Amino acid sequence: MAASIRNVRLLQTLRKTQVGTRLSSNLPKYSDEESLPADRRFDFDAASLAARGYCRNQKPYAPPSDVQQKVLKFCEKYLQSSEAGTTIHDQKIKYLLLNECGKAFSHAVPNSLMHKITSVEELLTFYMTPVETTVPLDMMKSIDLPKNLHIQYDYVRFHPETDTLFGGVSAYPKESTVVTGLKYKKKYKGYTAKTQWP
């Protein structure tokens, strides 16, 4: 990625300085408003990363109780077989089968896994696998943890007015506690440490 950006910038520099008429005539022409061509921009990647945060952008999926019967019924309809070892050779039939399953379960096969589903067994495995979208830390709240393991979900911030165990003395003197996030400014109180100059 860095090499492609470097190449585009090099091409722009060559075009601006117009080194050699033959070289500059072969270079792609860009307007001043868009410095990079459409296939070299990274706006979409940055926007999608900012929107989805920690988790991938997926819908949660819990397989229904009759998922196996429905998938085998669709396989019988399109492949004329419901055996687990039956392979899907024809691309048109595969499209129709996956489209039918996606509509029935409101859970479509993503493009990244489409090439892996080549048999009835793999299709069944996909639709019988639940999709969890919760963060692993939040999932631990519903798990029965061992007695010697304790997880503190809300972190503790030191403040000299409220933490009086040691008389409001911090373990890190002359270091301020700054709360920068808008969400946590309401929850946690920051303070500025007093510094003494010689």
Q: How many domains does the chain have?
A: 2
**Of 42 and 124, which is predicted with more confidence?**
124
pLDDT of 125 higher than 80: yes
Summarize pLDDT for 43-64 with one digit per residue, the tens: 555 555 555 555 556 788 999 9
3-state secondary structure 131-154: ECCCCHHHHHHHCCCCCCCCCCCC
| Any domain includes 177 | no
Residues 165 and 3: their CA atoms lie apart, in Å, by 56
Question: Range of 119's domain?
Answer: 67-128
Q: pTM for the whole thing? A: 0.51
Q: Check whether residue 37 and residue 71 sit in a common domain.
A: no
pLDDT of residue 154 exceeding 90, the answer is no
Domain of residue 85, CATH code: 1.10.1200.10
pLDDT digits (tens, 9 = 90+) for 75-88: 999 998 888 888 88
Q: What is the CA radius of gyration of the chain?
A: 29
**C-alpha dihedral, 97 to 99 to 103 to 104, nearest 10°:** 10
More confident residue, 60 or 12: 60
The per-residue pLDDT for 148 is 92
Residue 151 included in any domain: no
